[in-house]
């Protein structure tokens, strides 16, 4: 089953109003069994494409996940990447910056973990936190000790959007294909998932008072995401706003996004030269003698 992604992709220069974008769409599956079948097909295709990607080693894929708490980033990564060879995939999660990281520019700590050619790198949160949580909680910005702290808010964020666009343009020009996914969940659905974490003993550890405190800033985060996505979605490095109230649906959409990103690379296995073929036949002869 082919999932059409044009409704989820944000066009270059387009203004974003998340209140106008659905957090739930009609299911792309007819039953739980059908969901598992479609996801299995996507995972199988991803596995084959990832093997080809690793062998061709001409590009890197950077998959960025951003979302509100409990939107399903971890689950999407776990389910969608379940069939991918761990040697060709790396996952990095970015929390509050350390003291050492705060001594560098805001892109430094994530740049160190960019994927190599032939690999898929996944950022569970990313440098985009620097125009999201830092924008909502200005005390973090103060701790970064930037050289021009008196700039107004608009100047700070526009400068960072520009830095991000330039970084992503540089990466694209050098073979890294960037796919950015915002899991778009409703405030009501987040409340349900938080309650589920309270009611299930094996999920209590997932909920903290900090999560509840952050929930109070829902509108501020929504505004930050709208500005950020609109300012940094480009033709080469687009954002996809994926309805996330239905986790299974979201996983099918995410897996299709990644399949399409790999498929567009037009990959092929390295060509075997005549000299190499002769060498392989010589090796074969020695093995069967």
Q: What is the CATH number of the domain that holds 24?
A: 3.40.50.300
DSSP symbols for 177-241: EEEEEEEE--HHHHHHHHHHHHH-GGGGGG--HHHHHHHTTHHHHHHHHHHHHHHH--SSS-EEE
Q: Are 196 and 255 in contact (CB under 8 A)?
A: no
Share of the chain above pLDDT 90, in %: 72
Residue 135's pLDDT is: 92
Instruction: Say if strands 89-93 and 120-124 run parallel, antiparallel, or are unpaired.
Output: parallel
Give the end-to-end CA distance of the chain in Å, rounded to a whole number. 49
Residue 165 lies in a domain: yes
Q: What CA–CA distance (Å, rounded) separates 217 from 195?
A: 18
Q: What CA–CA distance (Å, rounded) separates 278 from 114?
A: 38
Residue 2's pLDDT is: 60
Q: Label residues 241-261 b or e (16+ Cβ within 10 Å = b).
A: bbbbbbbbbbbbbbbbbbbeb
Domain that holds residue 271: 18-288
- In the block, residue with structure tokens 């050289």: 147
- In the block, residue with structure tokens 């080469």: 236
Share of the chain above pLDDT 70, in %: 97
Residue 9 lies in a domain: no
Instruction: Say if strands 60-67 and 176-184 run parallel, antiparallel, or are unpaired.
Output: parallel
Q: Are 259 and 270 in contact (CB under 8 A)?
A: no
Residue 44 lies in a domain: yes
Q: Is the pLDDT of residue 288 over 80?
A: yes
Report how far apart, in Å, the C-alpha atoms of 65 and of each of 21, 24, 72, 75 are. 18, 18, 10, 11
Q: What CA–CA distance (Å, rounded) separates 167 from 131?
A: 15
Q: Are 236 and 261 in contact (CB under 8 A)?
A: no
Q: Is the dihedral of CA 124, 46, 72, 172 positive or negative?
A: positive
- Pick the more confident residue, 79 or 146: 79
Closest CA to 123 of 95, 155, 101, 104: 95
Residue 230's pLDDT is: 97
- In the block, residue with structure tokens 């409340």: 191
What does the block give as tokens for 28?
């792309």
How many CB atoms neighbour CB 279 within 10 A?
A: 12
Helix, strand or coil, per DSSP, at residue 109: helix
73-77, 127-131, 201-205: range with lowest mean pLDDT:
201-205
Residue 122 lies in a domain: yes
Residue 207 lies in a domain: yes
pLDDT tens, position by position, 124-176: 999 999 999 999 998 888 888 777 655 566 789 999 999 999 999 999 999 99
Q: How many domains does the chain have?
A: 1
Residue 4 lies in a domain: no
CA 210 to chain centre: 23
Residue 151's pLDDT is: 58
Residue 201 lies in a domain: yes
Residue 272's pLDDT is: 81
What does the block give as tokens for 167?
């970084």
Specify the pTM: 0.92
Residue 118 lies in a domain: yes
Report how far apart, in Å, the C-alpha atoms of 138 and of each of 60, 141, 156, 215 are. 34, 5, 11, 17
Q: Is the pLDDT of residue 82 over 80?
A: yes
């Amino acid at each position: 089953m082919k999932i059409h992604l044009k409704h989820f992709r944000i066009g270059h220069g387009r203004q974003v109003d998340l209140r106008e974008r659905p957090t739930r769409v009609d299911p792309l599956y007819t039953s739980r069994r059908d969901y598992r079948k479609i996801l299995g097909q996507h995972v199988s295709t991803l596995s084959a494409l990832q093997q080809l990607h690793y062998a061709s080693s001409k590009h890197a894929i950077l998959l960025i996940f951003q979302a509100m708490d409990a939107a399903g980033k971890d689950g999407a990564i776990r389910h969608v990447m379940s069939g991918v060879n761990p040697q060709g995939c790396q996952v990095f999660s970015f929390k509050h910056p350390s003291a050492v990281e705060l001594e560098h520019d805001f892109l430094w700590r994530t740049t160190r973990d960019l994927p190599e050619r032939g690999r898929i790198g996944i950022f569970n949160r990313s440098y985009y936190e620097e125009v999201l949580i830092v924008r909502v909680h200005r005390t973090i910005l103060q701790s970064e000790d930037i050289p021009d702290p008196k700039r107004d808010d608009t100047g700070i964020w526009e400068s960072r959007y520009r830095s991000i666009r330039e970084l992503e343009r540089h990466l694209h020009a050098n073979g890294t294909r960037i796919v950015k996914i915002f899991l778009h969940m409703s405030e009501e659905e987040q409340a349900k998932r938080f309650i589920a974490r309270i009611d299930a003993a094996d999920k209590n550890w997932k909920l903290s008072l900090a999560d509840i405190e952050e929930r109070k800033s829902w509108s501020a985060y929504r505004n930050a995401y709208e500005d950020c996505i609109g300012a940094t979605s480009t033709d080469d490095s687009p954002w996809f706003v994926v309805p996330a109230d239905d986790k299974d649906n979201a996983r099918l959409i995410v897996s299709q996004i990644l399949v399409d990103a790999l498929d567009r690379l037009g990959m092929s296995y390295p060509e075997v030269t005549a000299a190499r073929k002769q060498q392989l036949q010589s090796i074969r002869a020695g093995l069967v003698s």
